[in-house]
Amino acid sequence: MRHSSLRHRSLGLGLLALALASALPGSFATAADAGWIADPAVQRRLAGREVVVQAAAAVDTNRPRGRVRAAVLIKARPEAIWTVMTDCTEALRFVPGLSLCRRIDGAPDGRWADIEQEIRYSWFLPAVRNVLRADCDRPHRIDFHRLSGDLKQEEGSWVLTSTPDGAATVVEYEMYVDAGFWIPQVLVNRSLRKDLPAALAGLRERVERLPEGRPH
């Protein structure tokens, strides 16, 4: 699929991040280690079809903020994964609470796009609306950051790296967020233990069930 195809549909990528943006605990003491995926223990968990999630413990329940990172191994090429990740129609199927996703601006060649989205985390909380800028290096990386919306601050990235044999791809996700408002601790815990792994596992399922998602 060509870069220009992003002119005709919204980016669904980054919506995994935004769907979980208000449900992160306190910050890491230092920036995330870029080589964490190489840890043998992490490699074993990925090979065992586990979604690996790392986050700090909550330190400010009045205003959750912090960094989270996660990874999943998908049996497909980066291009096939990219196609699903950047499709809002697909994202609506596997991102918990996502109810709106649309592209509001972007480059003709697909190198960047501004995405509006709306997430409802729980029936007793109002929907959260945000606009983010996604800078794309197809099919290997997307960096995103907040332009406007209900969250105070957010930024992060997606990185797609082929395994040495080319039979699969490691998808890494990292985000820092400052919600700027109080969130019930039960939602923080649920998102880290359930929603984030479910979203990444959902991405894997959507990709691997498509014939074009398999390596040739």
Adjacency order of strands within the sheet including 52-55: 52-55, 65-74, 169-178, 153-162, 141-149, 128-137, 112-119, 98-106
Q: What are the tens digits of pLDDT across the range 74-112?
A: 999 999 999 998 888 888 787 777 888 888 999 999 999
Question: Domain total for the chain?
Answer: 1
* Nearest Cα to Cα of residue 174 among 84, 67, 86: 67
In angstroms, rounded to a whole number, what is the distance separating the alpha carbons of residues 121 and 136? 27
> What CATH number did the domain enclosing 128 receive?
3.30.530.20
Residue 8 is predicted with a pLDDT of: 33
Residue 1 is predicted with a pLDDT of: 41
Q: Where are the beta strands (DSSP E) in 60-216?
A: 65-74, 98-106, 112-119, 128-137, 141-149, 153-162, 169-178
Total residues belonging to the chain: 216
Provide the residue range defining the domain that includes 52.
3-213
- 20-34, 154-168, 199-213, range with the lowest pLDDT: 20-34
Q: What are the tokens at 97?
A: 């609470």
In angstroms, rounded to a whole number, what is the distance separating the alpha carbons of residues 125 and 190? 15
Q: What are the tens digits of pLDDT across the range 139-167?
A: 999 999 989 877 777 788 999 999 999 99
Q: What are phi and psi of 132, to 5 degrees?
A: -125, 155
